[in-house]
């Protein structure tokens, strides 16, 4: 039986529609399948990439742990290792840590002990599931000149109230104290701050690692580990701070005997009170005698100068008495007094400007006293005073004469470092709104001489090392997939 023509056409159309729909559905299914596969592949790639990144990050942390562990190992040695070949402090096999491994080696500098200190290159590589990162760090034996400012105690001799870092103060370099840091207002610390107060070596077990904030009142001070005590005290810590760290013991007074022996064996050793001028004007034509140290006995009847070419001595001058110092240094020397050192005028490096030592400057001065280092209250120091030196007051302080009398004397600018047993005062002041007004003495303008990270005045590395190592440079030397 034949179907009607119209019905036949309807069936053909339906068949064609079903075929088209099937094709479309098939195509859509294929597209969706491809899309799902792509999403799966992208997700798998993202997961793989995330895992890759995580492993590389963990490998970097392991390499950094290796650097820290090797530095701690060096600091645990009684004397710097004198081997001139690469050594493995923990053995050549990798150490396991945190789901990975790290390998460490230490290579001494070929010139050790060098002109001023022992230098080592620590190489550390971390490995997590075959993902590797490798780091190197150059470290050197640290001296007390590694800090722009170091104190054993943050008060004057005899105890009493603490001395404050105030709003007019700028400390441009690393600071360390075995005592508590006291803050009044808004001082600026451009280097890292470390305080051993409340740390593992603090004999007073009641101390907690904290700052002492002035808190706007002479009788209502506040202890806090917070970085500020706004609105009264709001210091700037440009490179952060650490409280409650391990103490760095202060140098022993016996080091003066070692310095006197060095001065007597190739240096200059003198008895009595002396004045010393670096690069003094020639008496004939007035030109500076750069590279020379001139000294004479301090008396009411001035004696002729003794002029010494610094290149002809071992760099150590010892005076068993009071030593007055001023002038322009061209060379290297450490001036030592068994008693007081008096700074009677500016002491600057020849290769310097108003910003301190220039790049490439090789002039370096150490000032070491068995008592105070005093900035004398005289006409020469009446309007600012500039000192380029690494200074150590072994038995007392770095201070300003008559710091609490007279009128303001401007700014006390130090480019170098200050190390003292007790904190010495340099001036007084008061608040006027948000501004600290200096009444007497100086405001502080202390800048670290970065060259002291890699060089030091004569005798410093032998007699004034801290037992710690400072990191000179850090770099990533390899990055394996």
Report the distance separating Cα 252 and Cα 149, nearest Å. Answer: 18
Q: What is the pLDDT of residue 98?
A: 72
pTM: 0.79
| Lookup result for tokens 């997939």 | 481
pLDDT(480) > 50 = no
What are the beta bridge partners of residue 343? 325, 375
How is 284-303 classified by DSSP, letter by letter? Answer: TT--B-TTEEEEEE-SSSPP
Q: What is the pLDDT of residue 323?
A: 97
Q: For the ranges 121-125, 158-162, 229-233, 448-452, which has the lowest average pLDDT?
A: 158-162
Strand order in the sheet with 465-480: 95-97, 100-108, 119-128, 131-143, 465-480
How is 272-288 classified by DSSP, letter by letter? Answer: S-EEEEETPBPTTT--B
User: In 176-298, which residue ranges form alpha helices assigned H by DSSP?
Assistant: 255-264
Length, in residues, of the chain: 481
Q: What is the pLDDT of residue 481?
A: 44
* C-alpha torsion angle, residues 359, 365, 366, 371 (rounded to 10): -120
Say whether the peptide bond before residue 377 is cis (omega within 30 degrees of 0): no
Domain boundaries, the chain: 1-142+467-481, 145-466
Considering only CA atoms, which of 115, 106, 127, 140 is closest in space to residue 58? 127
* C-alpha torsion angle, residues 340, 336, 470, 446 (rounded to 10): 40
Report the distance separating Cα 322 and Cα 342, nearest Å. Answer: 7
Which DSSP category does 253 fall into?
T
Q: For residue 254, what are the CA distances in angstroms to 251, 261, 362, 370?
A: 8, 11, 29, 10
Report the distance separating Cα 54 and Cα 71, nearest Å. Answer: 26
Q: What is the mean pLDDT of residues 389-408?
A: 95
Which is more confident, 159 or 218?
A: 218
Q: Per residue in 270-319, pLDDT tens? A: 999 999 999 999 888 889 999 999 999 987 777 899 999 999 999 999 99
Q: How confident is the model at residue 93 (pLDDT cuts 50, 70, 90)?
A: confident
Average pLDDT, whole number, for the chain? 88
Considering only CA atoms, which of 147, 255, 155 is closest in space to residue 212? 155
Residue 228, Cα to own-chain centre: how many angstroms? 22
Say whether the peptide bond before residue 173 is cis (omega within 30 degrees of 0): no
Q: How confident is the model at residue 250 (pLDDT cuts 50, 70, 90)?
A: very high
Q: What is the pLDDT of residue 413?
A: 95
Give me the sign of the Cα torsion angle 104, 89, 81, 463: positive
């Amino acid at each position: 039986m034949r179907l009607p023509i119209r019905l036949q056409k309807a069936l053909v159309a339906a068949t064609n529609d079903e075929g088209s729909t099937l094709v479309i559905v098939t195509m859509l299914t294929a597209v969706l399948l491809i899309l799902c596969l792509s999403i799966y592949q992208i997700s798998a790639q993202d997961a793989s990439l995330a895992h890759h990144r995580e492993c590389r990050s963990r490998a970097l942390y392991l390499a950094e742990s290796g650097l820290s562990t090797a530095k701690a190992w060096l600091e645990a040695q009684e004397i710097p290792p004198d081997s001139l070949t690469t050594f493995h402090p923990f053995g050549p096999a990798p150490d396991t840590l945190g789901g990975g491994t790290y390998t460490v080696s230490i290579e001494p500098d070929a010139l050790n002990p060098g002109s001023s200190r022992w230098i080592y290159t620590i190489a550390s590589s971390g490995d997590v599931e075959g993902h590797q990162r490798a780091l190197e760090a150059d470290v050197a034996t640290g001296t007390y000149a590694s800090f722009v400012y170091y104190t054993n105690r943050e008060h004057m001799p005899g105890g009493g109230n603490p001395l404050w870092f105030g709003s007019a103060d700028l400390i441009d370099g690393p600071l360390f104290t075995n005592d508590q840091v006291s803050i009044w207002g808004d001082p600026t610390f451009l280097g890292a701050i470390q305080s051993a107060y409340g740390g593992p070596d603090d004999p007073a077990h009641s101390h907690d690692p904290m700052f002492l904030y002035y808190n706007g009142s002479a009788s209502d001070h506040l202890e806090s580990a917070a970085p500020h005590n706004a609105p009264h005290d709001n210091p700037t810590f440009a490179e952060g701070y650490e409280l409650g760290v391990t103490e760095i013991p202060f140098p022993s007074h016996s080091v003066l005997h070692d310095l006197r022996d060095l001065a007597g064996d190739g240096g200059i050793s003198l008895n009595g009170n002396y004045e010393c001028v670096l690069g003094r004007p020639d008496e004939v034509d007035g030109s500076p005698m750069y590279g020379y140290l001139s000294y004479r006995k301090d008396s009411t009847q001035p004696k002729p100068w003794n002029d010494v070419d610094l290149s002809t001595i071992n760099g150590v001058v010892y005076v068993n008495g009071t030593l007055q110092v001023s002038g322009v240094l061209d060379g290297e020397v450490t001036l030592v007094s068994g008693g007081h050192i008096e700074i009677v005028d500016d002491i600057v490096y020849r290769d310097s400007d108003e910003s301190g030592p220039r790049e490439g400057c090789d002039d370096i001065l150490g000032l070491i006293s068995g008592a105070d280092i005093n900035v004398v209250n005289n006409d020469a120091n009446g309007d600012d005073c500039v000192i380029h030196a690494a200074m150590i007051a072994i038995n007392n302080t770095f201070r300003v004469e008559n710091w609490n009398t007279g009128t303001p004397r401007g700014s006390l600018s130090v480019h170098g470092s200050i190390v003292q047993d007790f904190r010495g005062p340099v001036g007084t002041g008061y608040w006027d709104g948000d501004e600290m007004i200096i009444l007497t003495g100086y405001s502080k303008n202390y800048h670290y001489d970065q060259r002291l990270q890699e060089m030091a005045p004569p005798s410093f590395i032998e007699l004034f090392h801290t037992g710690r190592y400072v990191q000179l440079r850090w770099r990533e030397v390899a990055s394996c997939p």
